[in-house]
Chains A and B, each alone.
Chain A
């Protein structure tokens, strides 16, 4: 670490002159620039850092190099986040908790004479089941009586998507994929319709948007914004967000296992087989693709370091997140990801925020009762699917569902069956090109088969 030669600066780390994030030998580090030295020392000496660490609000870190090196004042090594996620992959409650955390930190910072200068949703990650603030250089000394510098950013990154989700449509969070610096207030204002005049949106969205389009001189010279005013704004934002709620629809997938499974016997048999397979492979990370409300994620979490539960249904992820919060489960991360269209790379040069697939760890994939949706619902050839799994996992637990299955028949009800070649033999032939089949077990009370496969490439 003495000479920073072989490092790779992360493409997401170029905006802040206070420092940058880099990767070396698989570890993540953050530099503090000489320019930010005084602010960083103040962050520590004021007691703010200790307070945030004590309350588990900020990522713990160690200072591994405090010898000034060119423009670098010191290097920090934060605790590793196993799976990086982005706000457009979160459900409503995840974004809401991230927003409330940001305000809580801004208020504590103010108590210690400092100000939160960035309120980006990308500064929050999920760590041990809870949101945590990861940008260690986001604090600056509060010097004058001016309003919150990150207010607009907060409204675009948090308040806008939360209001749209609560009042219009939950899937509008995906607008964050198109707008890397948060949903523009003009768009939120338009989409909210008459709701923009309610007490939650009128000032922070509608009025701010209107005033932002005016040519006003010397407004920033206003020095009459007191600390009390600052707290009033933060408290008001906190109350608005804390009171936002969404309804969970009672259809689709969110009640799948409660109402729509083949039978209890089928479920019991599948649970036993999954447990047996996991005991055999002892995985570190499991990606539960098509996790639904996470019944198998919860079971798998007892056998590995962390489960990343992925489903395209935002209600399923919402229910799972609420459940892990309620039961204080620390090693499941639920994310809204559609495997037929996973999050792309966005931002500067299309690498600033990398795609979901790029952020996956090649370990174990659990694909239970999901491939028939990809094959039939998306016309995805089986070879594409096998190649995909080959690229993204070492171990694969996959459920094969034959064409005579009642659920497959349901999917084929109104369409031509062009999938007649999808038989057990064909499935095994295709997957055997890339995987070794370790186990093959029939699931009770069904014609479905559960496979445990090992990637032939994994030792290369």
Chain B
């Protein structure tokens, strides 16, 4: 869900102005990366689980 919101911001939000705090974008980037990495982590777990099942 967080990823969808951030992508919506990326493609819809207002353009750059000199009074924008770039730190806010950095916060969002980290949230996005952390979300992507946690999804990868769970996918890896599922893949390992399935591999184990087939081995048995």
Q: Which residues of A contact B (CB under 8 A)?
A: 146-149, 151-152, 155, 203-204, 207-216, 219-220, 222, 224-225, 228-230, 232-233, 236
Of A152, A204, A211, A236, the residue contacting B10 (CB under 8 A) is: A211
Instruction: Report how far A219 CA is from B32 CA in the complex, Å.
Output: 12
Q: Is the interface of B mostly helix, strand, loop or mixed?
A: helix
Instruction: Report how far A219 CA is from B34 CA in the complex, Å.
Output: 15
- Asked if B9 is at the interface (CB within 8 A of a chain A CB), the reply is yes
CB-defined A-B contacts under 8 Å, sample of 6:
A152-B23, A203-B33, A211-B32, A222-B31, A229-B31, A232-B33
Contacts of B37 in A (CB 8 A): 229, 232-233, 236
With A232-B34, A233-B33: A214-B27 Cβ-Cβ less than 8 Å: no
Contact B16 A147 (CB under 8 A): no
Contact A216 B26 (CB under 8 A): no
Contact B33 A211 (CB under 8 A): no
With A207-B10, A213-B16, A215-B17: A232-B27 Cβ-Cβ less than 8 Å: no
Contacts of B25 in A (CB 8 A): 208-214, 216, 219
With both beta carbons as reference points, the residue of chain A lying nearest to B29 in the complex is identified as A208
> Can you list the 3 inter-chain pairs with the closest CB atoms, starting with the nearest?
A212-B25, A211-B25, A229-B34
Contacts of A230 in B (CB 8 A): 34
Instruction: Report how far A204 CA is from B37 CA in the complex, Å.
Output: 13
Contacts of B32 in A (CB 8 A): 203, 207, 211
Contact B13 A147 (CB under 8 A): no
Instruction: Report how far A203 CA is from B25 CA in the complex, Å.
Output: 11
- Asked if B53 is at the interface (CB within 8 A of a chain A CB), the reply is no
- Asked if B14 is at the interface (CB within 8 A of a chain A CB), the reply is yes
With A147-B27, A151-B26, A220-B24: A210-B34 Cβ-Cβ less than 8 Å: no
Contacts of A228 in B (CB 8 A): 38
With both beta carbons as reference points, the residue of chain A lying nearest to B19 in the complex is identified as A215
